[in-house]
Structure 1
Amino acid sequence: MPRTSLVLGLALAGLSLSTPVAAQGLTPDAVDRLPTRVPHAVHRYGPAPQQYGQLRLPEGRGPFPVAVVVHGGCWTKGFATLANTAPLASALAERGIASWNIEYRQLGEAGAGWPGTFQDWGAGTDALRDLAAKHPLDLTRVVTVGHSAGAHAALWIAARPTLAADSEVGAAAPLPVQGAVAVDGPGDLAAFVGVDEQVCGQPVITTLFGGKPAEVPARYADGSPAQRLPFGVAQALVASVVLPPDAARAYAANAGGDDVRVIALEKAGHFDMIAPGQPSTEQVIEAVETLLAPR
């Protein structure tokens, strides 16, 4: 599905779900073309071509808090790359927050889906330990921020320490984070089955997990953040079109004591939310700053 069709699909999804429509805001290509800062480092966290990230540092000596930034794109090759979140990653660095913008394997690429895509999100986050050996990073102050499908990743990374070490997508010592910002993307993946076809133009969740919730329940239990709640991490859900405010509030209502803040935006373009200079992006950055503040 072409990226221009994705914008239309998002608007149609918004209409069908009775949520604010992503008024024809910025296109993903327009966001890709926004100015960005040159990364201080490009680091590989695995052998696959997609297993790398870009580190951007603020001015000064540090150590700096860190935002792990994860792009969206329907979990599928051809929709988006880390170029789509490079402007947001650059803006975070300008605000005093080191940004680690990761690429990962998407559906249609070798090794993607279950468990590879999830393993990439985890390994990419854990790579901060290697980066901290060379750069002034404060790994006690790490927040994830993801857009669209990356919102799922941001929440899942935060929930990862609750997984059993022998889970297919688990790890022996996952890097803990202190907050997660999910920008207009789903936290309940079982509930997103069916909606995904409206948003992405094709079913993607059952492909990502390798089956429907009833067919592979253990995978959804390990891979859907809503089924990991509570996981003891503060979260901010930026809701608009792909994540309707009602769905965000339902997630928060079932958070089991987790601190979950819902930021409901009206008439915010889906891609405007990751475009520095847009009011909705400012709210995303402020949410990251709030979660990094001493608690």
Structure 2
Amino acid sequence: MTRRGGGVAGRPADNGRVVHRYGADPSQFGELSLPDGKPLGTVVVIHGGFWRARYDLSLGRPLAADLAGRGYAAWNLEYRRALAGGGWPGTFEDVAAGIDLLASLPVDTGRVVVVGHSAGGHLAAWAVGRGKLPAGAPGANPKVAVTGVVSQAGVLALADCARQRVGDTAALDLMGGGPDEMPAEYRLADPIAAVPPSAPVLCLHSRGDDNVPYSYSERYVAAATAAGGQARLIELRGDHFTLIDPATPDWAAVIAALPGLLAG
């Protein structure tokens, strides 16, 4: 296969998806779904699962298919997960590299929205702050700027997730320790520590969510707006998983927000 822009040329996958690799590890790839005709913009899909290896990008495939059917270029991104080659800093380096690979793919990199669910919402909100990271930090110096973010029940308060054991040891496994042991690393990895965001962030969350506290989205939006950033929260009526069901009103809220976010 031929390398392009640091990546690997794509190969066909099922249902019109094309696989593009950004590294040698089996988890360092994404699936690109293109619409018929000129795309309306590019949407990166980052799946959740508390950063654990037993959850993969198959969670994002229905969303990517729906997006492509609506005219968007959908980039369903896989990454190394905690205790399986990822964690700090590998998971973050992978998300950065996966987004930057868009610069070598046949998509519009001037309009890029990242949609992330649960742990993917954490990574999406982290990605929008890459331009503010210090030199040498994982994910610094992005090649592709993010126009906007949709956090679907995102883990937007990573240090609190670790302290409160939301998802049991999920955040501890991701980072390799707690925020009191690794304060510098958490400051680089926690979206709420990086406000204001450099692009608008829309948080979608249900008070009935039993997996990720609604308060994480409330606190993130309050911190982001207090710091002068653009962030808002829409309360939904479903649960943690209706957000990733294309047949639900919760997913319709994502679709409704995309034109404004892609416009910048």
TM-score between the two structures when normalised by the length of structure 2 = 0.88
Aligned to 2:244: 274
Aligned to 1:11: none
Aligned to 1:119: 93
Aligned to 2:202: 236
Amino acid in structure 1 at the alignment position of 2:241: F
Amino acid in structure 2 at the alignment position of 1:219: E
Q: 1:217 and 1:174 mapped to 2: Cα distance?
A: 27
1:193 CA drift (Å)? 1.7
Is 1:160–1:174's contact at 8 Å kept on the other side of the alignment?
Answer: no
1:249 CA drift (Å)? 2.1
1:287 CA drift (Å)? 2.3
Q: 1:235 and 1:272 mapped to 2: Cα distance?
A: 20
1:63 CA drift (Å)? 5.1
Matched, 1:153 2:127: no
Q: 2:199 and 2:67 mapped to 1: Cα distance?
A: 21
Matched, 1:192 2:178: no
- Identity between Structure 1 and Structure 2 (%): 40
Matched, 1:75 2:75: no
Aligned to 1:130: 104
1:40 CA drift (Å)? 3.9
Q: 1:287 and 1:207 mapped to 2: Cα distance?
A: 33
Matched, 1:225 2:191: yes
Q: 2:17 and 2:154 mapped to 1: Cα distance?
A: 29
Q: 1:214 and 1:119 mapped to 2: Cα distance?
A: 23
Say which of 76, 87, 108 aligns to 2:62: 87
C-alpha offsets along residues 224-244 of structure 1, whole Å, 9 cap, x if unaligned?
111011132100011122444
TM-score between the two structures when normalised by the length of structure 1 = 0.79
Name the CA shift for 1:50/1:94 in 2 (closer, same or farther; >3 Å).
Answer: same
Matched, 1:251 2:220: yes
Q: 2:75 and 2:230 mapped to 1: Cα distance?
A: 24
Name the CA shift for 1:83/1:40 in 2 (closer, same or farther; >3 Å).
Answer: closer
Q: 2:34 and 2:156 mapped to 1: Cα distance?
A: 29
Aligned to 1:284: 254
C-alpha offsets along residues 187-245 of structure 1, whole Å, 9 cap, x if unaligned?
11011124444xx3x31212211221111111111111110111321000111224444
Higher relative contact order (CA 8 A, sep 6+): 1
Amino acid in structure 2 at the alignment position of 1:258: G
Amino acid in structure 1 at the alignment position of 2:83: G
Q: 2:143 and 2:165 mapped to 1: Cα distance?
A: 29
Aligned to 1:44: 21
C-alpha offsets along residues 54-113 of structure 1, whole Å, 9 cap, x if unaligned?
0011111x25410110000111111x211111001111111111100011111231x211
Give SS of 1:138's match: coil
Root-mean-square deviation over aligned CA pairs: 1.8
C-alpha offsets along residues 9-37 of structure 1, whole Å, 9 cap, x if unaligned?
xxxxxxxxxxxxxxxxxxxxxxxxxxxx8
